[in-house]
Amino acid sequence: MRIIDTHAHLNDERLYSSVSDIVSNMESDGLSKIINVGYCQQSSETSVKLANTYKSIYCSVGIHPHDASNAHTSNYDYFSSVATNPKLVAIGEIGLDYYYNHSERAVQKRVFVEQLELASALKLPVIIHLRDAFEDMLKLLKTNLHYLNNGLVLHCFSGDSDMVHQFLNIYPVYFSVGGAITFKNNLDKKDVLSHIPIDSLLLETDCPYMTPVPFRGTTNYPKYINFVASKLQEWFPERNIISETNANALRLFTKLNN
């Protein structure tokens, strides 16, 4: 069975020139579908273009918290205009990032909620970026539950088991994991993941970032998702990791079934 990579950035300059080769090798690399994720207007447009060009690539559109200060209603107009595209599976990545603070926190929160509202209106799930803003994210999700009608995923989840339960207490969240689980400094990750329900886990690469061991320090590629799946299968041998995570992806991102 081949794997669904639920979060990639083939629109990044490090990968864009290689997209044709990446797609051509997907079958031999053990990949079935890739969701290419937007993070600003330009990257979202490229994401849609790639999805329209390649059968096995799907897309999302959104404004990353780093770019929140540049968000404009014209961005939302564009996202709405492509929402009916059968290959557009979500709004994202959107969220909060207090580690870098490239945009003011108040602006990040406003733009995040605006995009939650947009996703609700467009009947699309959301892909959430969350870094060092756990409490504020919980508060925003609790106060905006009326917009969470179509599902959400915490991309590249890096929280602890307590965070898992706090999110699940407010909404049936999906948790996506990637190359970081293979890092030596993530020895507690097995325990954290054991708290995630069997039907709430997704696989991703976040390529070209977060390259798994043994290629850490180099450019990440979708094919390296196999190292993520293998690590999970090693930790949880009683589970069928690929089958389960693929089923979860198809349930959350319903357009992947098209």
Q: How far apart are CA 124 and CA 127, in angstroms?
A: 10
pLDDT in tens, 84-142: 999 999 999 999 999 999 999 999 999 999 999 999 999 999 999 999 999 999 999 99
pLDDT for the residue numbered 258: 83
pLDDT digits (tens, 9 = 90+) for 15-56: 999 999 999 999 999 999 999 999 999 999 999 999 999 999
pLDDT digits (tens, 9 = 90+) for 66-86: 999 999 999 999 999 999 999
* E strand intervals along the chain: 3-8, 31-37, 57-61, 88-97, 126-131, 152-154, 174-177, 201-203
User: Residue 187: what pLDDT?
Assistant: 74
pLDDT at 127: 98
DSSP assignment of 52-118: HH-TTEEEEE---GGGGGG--HHHHHHHHHTTT-TTEEEEEEEEEETTT-SS-HHHHHHHHHHHHHH
217: left (phi > 0), else alpha (psi -120 to 50), else beta?
left
- Could you report the per-residue pLDDT of 183-211, keeping only the tens digit for each? 988 778 999 999 999 999 999 999 999 99
Assigned CATH topology for domain 3-257: TIM Barrel (3.20.20)
Who's near 95: CB < 8 A, 6+ residues apart? 64, 65, 108, 112, 128, 129, 130, 133, 137
Model confidence at 59: pLDDT above 90? yes
Helix (DSSP H) and strand (DSSP E) numbers for the chain: 10, 8
Q: Domain extents for the chain?
A: 3-257
The residue with tokens 């108040």 is: 106
**SS3 label, residue 34:** strand
Query: In sequence order, what are the residues at sequence separation of 6 or more whose Cβ sits closer than 8 angstroms to the Cβ of residue 89?
Result: 35, 58, 59, 60, 124, 125, 253, 254, 255, 256
pTM summary value: 0.98
Distance of alpha carbon 28 from alpha carbon 258, whole angstroms: 22
3-class DSSP state of 16: helix
Tell me the C-alpha distance between 43 and 48, whole Å: 9
